[in-house]
Amino acid sequence: MSETKTPAASLGAPRATGNLRSETPVEWLISDSLVDYEEAVRFMEARVEAIANGTARELIWLLEHSPLYTAGTSADFADLLAPARFPVHRTGRGGQFTYHGPGQRIVYVMLDLNRRGKDVRAFVAALEGWIIDTLERFNVKGEIRGDRVGVWVRRPQHAPGAEDKGAEDKIAALGIRLKRWVSMHGLSINVEPELEHFSGIVPCGISTYGVTSLSNLGLIVSMAELDMALADTFEDRFGPIAR
């Protein structure tokens, strides 16, 4: 397998069945300032190649971007409702349109599936589970849906009944690409972004549900607190990180 592009949650349940752990510590990088998107992609591509060649360690990179929209490999440009609002980047990850901006934790995941089982479904499910485990640290119950991507939280106040369509919002997105069985791109969790910025697209092609954040749920969570939770729950599922 040379390259795979895959969307997120439709591929599996939140608990992985394969062995995704490696006991080789993963490098953990946090960028404190906004990172240019194209520079981030160039960095990922070079790092993924080095990981595949055995000359660099696996890497988890946590960062934020300036406001922008990205189009995945399945994007329908009819879903780009405000094309002049923010820069639009075509990207090789799976999925459709999404928004990135300040207040959103982007997690770029560069892991070598050659040493983690070469099971794409299990890998995506483990990433979903990682998000869900992280949200649980803040008493937020994240869930996945078989018919739509991302991690969702129930919002029963949005509809007459808790099970009614529309009574939940997306809090996290996921889209990856595999090159030589090494992953790139990754996931995003809404901490305190400007949610109105999502109105310039149909997020992930889904127009009948909303978008939320930890702040929108009434929680005051800093990026540093989220990062600590991400580190702890990552180790539970994927193995040690180099601290």
pLDDT digits (tens, 9 = 90+) for 173-211: 999 999 999 999 999 999 999 999 998 877 766 667 889
- Given the residues 149, 204, 211, 230, select the one marked as catalytic: 204
Does 22 participate in catalysis according to the annotation?
no
The 10 Å Cβ neighbour count of residue 107 is: 23
pLDDT higher than 60, residue 14: no
pLDDT higher than 80, residue 156: no
pTM (predicted TM-score): 0.88
Using H for helix, E for strand and C for coil, what is the string for the chain?
CCEEEECCHHHCCCCCCCCCCCCCCEEEEECCCCCCHHHHHHHHHHHHHHHHHCCCCCEEEEECCCCEEEECCCCCHHHECCCCCCCEEECCCCCCEEEECCCEEEEEEECECCCCCCCHHHHHHHHHHHHHHHHHCCCCCCEEECCEEEEEEECHHHCCCCCCCCCEEEEEEEEEEEECCEEEEEEEEECCCCHHHHHHECHHHCCCCEECCCCCCCCCCCHHHHHHHHHHHHHHHHCCEEC
- Which pLDDT belongs to residue 28? 98
- Which pLDDT belongs to residue 238? 96
| Average pLDDT of the segment spanning 16-44 | 90
- Which pLDDT belongs to residue 229? 98
pLDDT higher than 60, residue 44: yes
pLDDT higher than 70, residue 34: yes
- Which pLDDT belongs to residue 16? 39
Confidence band of 6 (pLDDT split at 50, 70, 90): very low
- Which pLDDT belongs to residue 178? 96
- Which pLDDT belongs to residue 12? 33
pLDDT higher than 60, residue 163: no
Question: Considering the chain, what percentage of its residues have pLDDT values greater than 90?
Answer: 68
116-140 exposure pattern, b = at least 16 Cβ within 10 A, e = fewer: bbebbebbbbbbbbbbbbbbeeeeb
Please, what sign has the CA dihedral across residues 179, 101, 187, 51?
Answer: positive
Confidence band of 17 (pLDDT split at 50, 70, 90): very low
- Which pLDDT belongs to residue 201? 75
pLDDT higher than 50, residue 157: yes
Return the ∠ at Cα 126 (arms to 23 and 132), rounded to 5°: 115
| Average pLDDT of the segment spanning 100-116 | 97
Among residues 58, 65, 94, the alpha carbon closest in space to that of 240 is found at 58
Cα separations in angstroms, 197 against 66, 102, 113, 242:
12, 11, 34, 35
Residue 70 in contact with residue 100, Cβ under 8 Å?
Answer: yes
- Which pLDDT belongs to residue 206? 64
pLDDT tens for each residue of 56-70 = 999 999 999 999 999
pLDDT higher than 50, residue 162: no
Structure tokens at 95: 């999925």
| Cα 11 to Cα 86: distance, rounded to the nearest angstrom | 30
